[in-house]
Amino acid sequence: MAKKKTGYNWKFSKIGGVTRVNIESGADIARLGELDQKLWTVLSCPVKGLELDETTLNMMDTDHDGKIRVNEVVEHAQWLCSVLKNPDFLLKQTDKLPLSEINEATDAGAKILQSAREILKNLGVEGDSISIANTSDSLAIFAKTRFNGDGVITEASTDDESLKAAIKACIDTIGSTPDRSGEAGINADQIDAFYTALNDYDEWNKAAEAPGVMAFGADTAAALSAVQALQAKVSDFFMRCKLAAFDAGSAGALDMSAARIEAISAEDLNACGEQIAACPLARVNAEGQLPIDGTGINPAWQGVFGQLRTLVLSKEFGKKKSIGEADWNALVGKFAAYGAWAAAKKGEAVEALGCDTVAALVKADAKAALLDLVAQDKALEAEANEIQSVDKLVHLTRDFYTLLKNFVTLSDFYSPDAKADFQAGTLYIDQRSCDLCIKVSDMPKHNAMADLSAMYILYLDCTSKVKNQTMTIAAVITNGDVNDLRVGKNAVFYDRDGLDWDATVVKIIENPISIRQAFWSPYRKMARFVEDQVNKFAASRDEKVTSDATGKIGDAGTQLTSAEAEADIRLKNSQAQAFDIAKFAGIFAAIGMALGMIGSALVACAKGFMGLTWWQMPLVILGIMLLISGPAMIMAWLKLRKRSVSPLLNANGWAVNSQALVNIRFGATLTQLAKFPKVVAKDPFAKKGIPVWRKLLYMLILLGGAFAALYFTNCLDRFGLPYGETAVEQVPAESE
């Protein structure tokens, strides 16, 4: 264990093959600001996607950029050490903070202690400690308080019934602002807007009392609406009358003509309201008189005209039977003052309260009293903010040291008894459990950097029916074989809360897992190659036979009789047999080629073994195997030395400042393989194995065949006939 020579004697140790600083005491936390930033394992991490309370991380994210950086960690370390008597308490990582641990010797600590006691008092909790459960429920904390420092007052802020009524009226008309207690309340701006609207609306109402504004009393608004509803039609009527007086011959065209009625007479006239309403309001006359006694009005307009006559005409013109254009214009002019007054309307926001209520509120003028309540509430702002500081303190008391172990050192990742905050849970797949599972926030970025980790990675889409959520994880396989791992394979993922998710493999990044796997990989590839070639050959023969058979059937082109049908069945059976023969012939040919290659290899080995002693032969065989598997093992060894989780974290937005290696020994702890006990009982369905004596017999036959081939080639060499050539008899030429 070494020490770095700085102003503070930091202690260092090897963690994950890398030298890292130890954070193991409150003194270390207090001096974090002095630690060279180059020695930090992580420089920043995201707020979201970690297995650490996001509320705590948001409290630490002072610049609200979505990441926790070194300066923010140092800032909160110094704050914690100033408000706690003993920073060693942070190492306990508990969610309950004894009040005796708060340092009241500092101003910040004294305020927090006072607020903590106030919280417990408001909640009705007795005790000498405060927990996250106490501080997290702000609604419960402020439910019984009249003032809470947010500048918002509610009906509970006063015992005066008139002030309560004013607060309720303001909420009903201007709107509300949530109070820290969770109740609807109002602030100073809303109070100002409320009383401005009250005064404007009250003054506007009083202006209606001026002479000439309410020409028809309480019915003035309705009377104006009736006049406006008919004004365009009345103006049209008087213009038609003027044209009729100008040219007597045009009266027929301007009036309701028989031809227009005849055009719609065959239809349902009840459905022809628009055509009828388009006709003049009344019969056109050269005198320009509009009947107002209810007779001679277009049927489509009689309802509206009747309302006008009741509200206005009967009051203004008495028993007159008709009026001229001048009379109508004079009538319309009487609404000018009312129209100007209506256009100047103000304070509409409080109109729903009614004129009398508005007048009463204006007269009571409780604005100053309400603003005084707001001022009293605002005076407690500092105390209320300290309540938030208490909440922050208990959260950091529990989580800050955990963050340090995943930020400064990554010690939780390498600890057998803990999990890092980026480990999302455990994946169960192919008789193994994988503990190194990381949530993927950006799939394209992750794919671009995943291969740099030199690890075997499964990407899986996970779905939870309980949470109704989906997510993608990257699961690192560090132990076992991978023969049965493939895209589309299903698995089960358990998050850190123990909730299960359905998981499906969607992508695989292949890299070596172990030296043992690398040793056998060339042979597996060779076996896979032979299998693929056999399958391709059989498939091609299958396709050829099938295409030939279907082609011949298509060329026949005749309807089969019953006898021909039987013949056709026999033909198909014979073709199927031919297909099977061709298929298996191809397979046997491929197997024969493989055996030939093996035989040639054995012959070559046998030749090489001639002249070797018995103890040298195993060494030669071992050398051949190493020659085949050696390159793969060397490449695997090089990659296994470079395995690191850093690229996977960087792809998720981390800024990892040093290596986070996953060597073979540590990797074996991240992926646990299934372990079965020795089974004594026999399996009745087990496949019968080959007896040992038979295996030995096969081996002797194989070795005997190899040496027989060697002996045969030696015999050919003695007669001067190289292996693989044919003797040719020399025949003397005949003499001429």
Residue type, 297: I
Instruction: Determine what percent of the chain is predicted with pLDDT higher than 70.
Output: 76
Residues 433-449: tens digit of each pLDDT: 999 999 998 898 888 88
227 lies in the same domain as 278? yes
State CA 147 to chain mean position distance. 39
Least confident piece of the model among 323-327, 399-403, 519-523? 519-523
Pair 679, 579: CB distance under 8 Å:
no
Q: Which DSSP symbol is given to 349?
A: G
- Which of residues 299, 334, 369 is at a domain's end? 334
Which of 315, 340, 359, 332 is closest to 213 using CA atoms?
340
Is 313 in the same domain as 359?
no
Reported as a pLDDT band with limits 50, 70 and 90, residue 571 is low
Per-residue pLDDT at 726: 45
- What region does 127 belong to: left with phi over 0, alpha with psi -120 to 50, or beta? left
Residues 28, 96: one domain?
yes
Note whether residue 489 is domain-resident: no
Whether 475 is in a domain gets the answer no
Helices 692-718, 562-609: inter-axial angle, 10-degree rounding: 70
**Is 10 in the same domain as 137?**
yes
Query: Could you count the other beta carbons within 10 Å of the beta carbon of residue 70?
Result: 19
DSSP-derived 3-state class of residue 719: coil
Instruction: State the residue range of the domain holding 9.
Output: 3-143+380-414
- Does some domain include residue 304? yes
Query: Which stretches within 247-318 are classed as H helix?
Result: 251-254, 258-264, 273-277, 302-308, 314-317
**pLDDT tier at 451 (50, 70, 90 boundaries)?**
confident
Number of domains in the chain: 3
CA distance 652 to 44: 11
pLDDT value at residue 641: 76
Residue 128 sits in the same domain as residue 30 = yes
Spatial separation of the C-alpha atoms in residues 153 and 158, rounded to whole Å? 9
| Weakest mean pLDDT among 3-17, 86-100, 615-629 | 615-629
The answer to whether residues 268 and 304 belong to one domain is: yes
In a domain, 466, yes or no: no
pLDDT at residue 576 greater than cutoff 60: no
pLDDT at residue 719, rounded to an integer? 58
User: Structure pTM?
Assistant: 0.61
Judge whether residue 616 has pLDDT over 60.
no
Number of helices (H), then strands (E), belonging to the chain: the values are 27, 20
Over residues 187-194, the mean pLDDT reads: 94
Q: Is the model more confident about 185 or about 599?
A: 185
Angle at 176 between CA 172 and CA 177, to 5 degrees: 170
Does 91 or 296 have the greater pLDDT score? 91
Q: What is the pLDDT of residue 636?
A: 63
Task: Say yes or no to pLDDT of 727 above 50.
Answer: no
Does residue 93 lie in a domain region? yes
Contact indicator for 391, 135 with CB cutoff of 8 Å: yes
Using a pLDDT cut of 90, give the percent of the chain over it. Answer: 38
Residue 308 lies in a domain: yes
Q: Residues 113, 128: one domain? A: yes
Of 376-380, 534-538, 655-659, 726-730, the one with minimum mean pLDDT is 726-730
User: Of 347-361, 588-602, 673-687, 710-724, which gets the smallest average pLDDT?
Assistant: 588-602
520-543 pLDDT, tens digit each:
666 666 666 666 777 777 777 777
The amino acid occupying position 90 is L
Query: Residues 89, 130: one domain?
Result: yes
Q: Which two tokens stand for residue 216?
A: 């028809």
Whether the Cβ atoms of residue 9 and residue 3 lie closer than 8 Å to each other:
yes
Which are the contacts of 394, defined by CB distance < 8 A and separation ≥ 6?
95, 96, 97, 130, 131, 132, 134, 135
How far apart, in whole angstroms, are the C-alpha atoms of residue 501 and residue 269?
Answer: 70
Together in a domain, 182 and 128:
no
Which range in 178-192, 490-504, 703-717 is most confidently predicted, on average pLDDT? 490-504
- Min mean pLDDT across 165-174, 219-228, 273-282, 586-595 is at 586-595
Alpha-carbon distance of 128 to 130, in angstroms, equals 7
Average pLDDT for the chain: 81
What does the pLDDT average to over 318-325? 87
Is the confidence at residue 194, as pLDDT, over 60? yes
